Structure 1
């Protein structure tokens, strides 16, 4: 029998996932981490990106998180996300629109925009589109 670890992914709005997994991949502040059962305790900020949960050899579940906190205990992984959604639920049209608007704002030389906000919106849209792209490539 394969060892598993319990995974909870929650956002400010709702619980997104709760269940057992063989491995979890998350976009930690210093780079992507892979978490297996009996992993050493860890707390890290999360960057915007994709959290992948390997439920079994044949099943992965992908989630988009906009940032948050990752807590790892030997038998429990908790993702406390600012915003989280299943990758399959991402609105591609809205992400493309947000990307275009952020790029337009960054090209505006009038000085009337907040560049940090525009860069954050661009990064979020790009990560959502990347999560969708990976989901399509896996054929899920």
Structure 2
């Protein structure tokens, strides 16, 4: 069966590279499903999970916190600000980040950067959702 090589890269280095049957992710323009032979494409990604269908019909999940997706017919590269494979996520750390962000948003402190706190909460929730699947 046809596969495509998926590579997830962050400023800290490569997070994942493997062959998959399909990739599903959420770009700023909506949900994307990528199969081998897909037309070339570049799209900005949102904070969300990337689902990767393996040849054994299993699924790998990667928590991606923004970045870009580059699609070529036989390879997909995700350049992300940060990304974690589900098994590598420190759930306790993500819970603490979620609590901190929620407390900042609830504080009503005028010195709190609300947008930054909302992004931190979204990243923490994404990591927790991926880790729990």
Same topology, TM > 0.5: yes
CA distance in 1, matches of 2:30, 2:132: 20
Specify the alignment match of 1:114 in structure 2: 113
Aligned residues: 133
CA distance in 2, matches of 1:127, 1:118: 14
CA distance in 2, matches of 1:110, 1:48: 25
- For structure 1, the residue ranges without an aligned partner over 5 or more in a row are 135-140
CA distance in 2, matches of 1:12, 1:42: 22
Specify the alignment match of 2:46 in structure 1: 47
Specify the alignment match of 2:70 in structure 1: 71
SS of 2:132 mapped into structure 1: helix
Q: Which stretches of structure 1, 4 residues or more, deviate above 3 A after TM superposition? A: none
Specify the alignment match of 1:11 in structure 2: 10
* Deviation (angstroms), 1:16: 1.4
CA RMSD of aligned residues (A): 1.2
| Map 1:1-140 → 2, pairs under 5 A | 2-134=1-133
* Deviation (angstroms), 1:105: 0.6
CA distance in 2, matches of 1:45, 1:69: 4
Bigger shift: residues 51-60 or 67-76: 51-60
